[in-house]
Structure 1
Amino acid sequence: MQYGDWVLLQDRRGRNYLFRLEPSARFDSHRGSIPHERILEAGLGGAVSTPQGERFTVHRPTLEDYLLQMPREATPTYPKDAATMAFLLDLAPGMWVLEAGSGSGGLTLYLARAVGPAGQVWSYETRPKHQARAQRNLSAFEDWGNVTWLGADLAQAPLPPEAFDGVALDLMEPWTVLPAVTPALKLDRFLVCYLPNLTQVIVLLEQIKDQRLPYLLERTLEVLHREWDVRPPIAHPKFQQVGHTAFLVQLRRVRD
């Protein structure tokens, strides 16, 4: 750990504080402040306290920690959904994946990490402000140089045939880009759509049937995490829960 790195402080109640370490800077809380120098000295897995006795443990932030607190132009894909999309796409290091839109870069980060430095992510976004934010968020946290940013409409994009091992679509009307995307997806590989409401899911499946697109519907699901507050001998579900965020539709490309 060194100056310039992201660090996460966690208090005794499990609340997290994310920031970069800077020379001569201080972390301020309602129970006092701590010089960044002392945090650096404590190191990862260590602990620091304010003069008033408030104790914090020191950690390297996870991708989930960063995604939930990073700046945004659009609502980011929740970590539970982004991780599941990477799983549904069956991604591995060295693969190529196509994404639209870039949003705030949350899903991009998960895809880039899944395919690794030897892989490639092509990220399409029609809104320059959103894509600029996604670029900044990615480069600020973890940038392997494996993301190609494209400010264009995916529906009109000239894509190389059967070049991609997976396609991730976070669009209001993903069916509008399917004719352009389908030839670029390898046979027997997956396309996953992120859709906030069930009406979009139904329209998507109707459009696939009407356009006679070569996809099998593998599954439609929503990812629900139910966290528990366990402090023996007391245990109960946490009062604040993240409920529905989106439906994920997994499609498999087959021969025409």
Structure 2
Amino acid sequence: MIKTLLPFSKTPLSTVRICRRKPITLCHQCFRKLATDGRVFEEGDIALLREKHDASHDGHLSKPLHSKKTIETHRGPISHTEIIGKRVRDIIKTKKGHEYRIHEPTLSEYVRYTPRSVTPIYPQDANVIVSLLDIHVSPQSDSTPRKPPLEILEAGTGHGALTLHLSRAIHAANPPLPSPPPYLDSEDGMEDSVYQGESVADPQHSELEAWKKRRQAIIHTLDISPNNTNRARNVVKGFRRGMYAGNVEFHIGDVSAWIAAQTKMRNTSEPFLSHVLLDLPGAQAHLANVAPALHTNGALAVFNPSITQIVECVEMIRDRKLPYLLDRVVELGGSTAGREWDVRAVRPRVALRKENGLGSVPESPDHDSDGSASVDQSGHAIGGYAAGDKEMAKDMNQRKSDWAMICRPKVGYMVVGGGFLGVWRRMKDSALGSD
């Protein structure tokens, strides 16, 4: 048993008993100080300032800390030199005497407070998307046989918010960087004002290139706009001194063209992508080109603001018999985040009777007495919607069509706004028409 005094503050502290078999009892102030990692803010870090006596205050996100810069608040300016050398949760004052507490921004806060030229995928939605991809990685040791790296394609980089969440999800698979990315103090025209003056050393550096060859997980993110790519690159590099930036490769161009170029460069027709996420208009135009590059059972996720765009993908896959099996359609955003939608192509049973020359169909819970219930592509009856199916059958007779799309939330929910995510799984080519 050892007795010691913890010298963390000027206030009187009681003796703390330290024993392997007994917990350490700390006062609230000591616990708060031990809860921080003890690291102080340095030049190049980003800090979040919140008013000490206003818990609802959103906060001010700083530029990368620099001795010659200041943060402008409505309570007065704060010099970066007041933050440099301080610890997380320390208190600083403006020239007017108003107190702010220093925080290290979480990934969620960083995404919400960074300026943007395009709407980001917000953290609550990004977390759902990453969860549905079901990514599992583990550190690789020198004794472990090397496998092909896990590669994920994100088409539609945008703000870079989802890129950061994906990179965090795979981060454990890659070895530590040989050294933190060196930031250069220059004013050579970074377009995003928050990160102006920040740049990373030449990526062709031999040590960094050697590290890249040992990566076991990579995020390929692609955007048609060079401006979006440049801003997103700075957003990714700006979070905690670029700790996740090494996992990401940024590309500019068209999705289908990029896949064709990668296939040619790799000199193989074998699939190389573990998952693909399309967050761009007209995603259905790229589905056929994505399929050869996607591993069997790999996830294809399509994010769109409108459910009708997901429907267009469903119809494209059915009409062209593409090797995808719809896993789920999920609504994102607001209080209904995570709610599943029923989206599928169906045929009214009355159309099947006419096609097969059959008479009436016996009543069942899945269809009315006139046999007007629907069946999906697997031939299974879709129950509980007989009245709606009658209307659909009349509409299809007028349009001379055999198929119609069901597009509705699961029973018991109200329809409200929000984005939509469709998730498909890549089937084996031999399973086409049987899955």
Under a length normalisation based on structure 1, what TM-score does the superposition of the two structures give? 0.84
Percent pairwise identity: 32
Change (3 A) 1:245 1:9: farther
Distance 1:77 1:187 in 2: 27
> Is 1:201 paired with 2:310?
yes
* Matched position secondary structure for 1:44: coil
Aligned-residue offset at 1:192: 1.0
Say whether the 8 Å CA contact 1:91–1:166 is kept in structure 2: no
Runs of 4+ in 1 over 6 A off after TM superposition: none
Q: How does 1:141-220 map to 2 (within 5 A)?
A: 141=239, 142=242, 143-156=244-257, 157-158=259-260, 159-160=262-263, 161-220=270-329
Change (3 A) 1:98 1:245: same
Change (3 A) 1:55 1:245: farther
Counterpart selection for 1:5 from 23, 34, 45: 45
Output one character per residue of 1:98-155: Cα deviation in whole Å (capped at 9) or x when no partner: 1102222222222122122431111222222222222222223334322222222112
Higher strand share: 1
Output one character per residue of 1:76-103: Cα deviation in whole Å (capped at 9) or x when no partner: 2222222221111112346310110222
Change (3 A) 1:211 1:192: same
* Matched position secondary structure for 1:220: strand
Equivalent residue letter for 1:251: W
Say whether the 8 Å CA contact 1:221–1:248 is kept in structure 2: yes
Larger radius of gyration: 2
Aligned-residue offset at 1:224: 3.7
Distance 1:71 1:27 in 2: 15
Counterpart selection for 2:98 from 42, 54, 57: 54
> Is 1:121 paired with 2:219?
yes
> Is 1:16 paired with 2:59?
yes
Counterpart selection for 1:107 from 159, 162, 165: 162
Equivalent residue letter for 1:255: K
Output one character per residue of 1:146-172: Cα deviation in whole Å (capped at 9) or x when no partner: 222222211233244321221111011
190-199 vs 212-221, which moves further: 212-221
94-103 vs 170-179, which moves further: 94-103
| 1:237 corresponds to | none
Number of aligned positions between the proteins:
240
Under a length normalisation based on structure 2, what TM-score does the superposition of the two structures give? 0.51
Distance 2:91 2:231 in 1: 33
Aligned-residue offset at 1:2: 0.5
Unaligned runs of 5+ in 2: 1-40, 138-148, 175-214, 264-269, 336-415, 430-435
* Matched position secondary structure for 2:302: strand
Say whether the 8 Å CA contact 2:92–2:101 is kept in structure 1: yes
| 1:135 corresponds to | 233
Equivalent residue letter for 1:126: I
Say whether the 8 Å CA contact 1:91–1:165 is kept in structure 2: no
Unaligned runs of 5+ in 1: 227-242
| 1:234 corresponds to | none
Aligned-residue offset at 1:205: 0.8
Distance 1:2 1:9 in 2: 15
Change (3 A) 1:38 1:112: same
Change (3 A) 1:128 1:30: closer
Say whether the 8 Å CA contact 1:96–1:115 is kept in structure 2: no
Say whether the 8 Å CA contact 1:73–1:129 is kept in structure 2: no
Distance 1:16 1:135 in 2: 24
Higher RCO (CA 8 Å, separation ≥ 6 residues)? 1
Distance 1:197 1:190 in 2: 20
Distance 2:245 2:251 in 1: 17
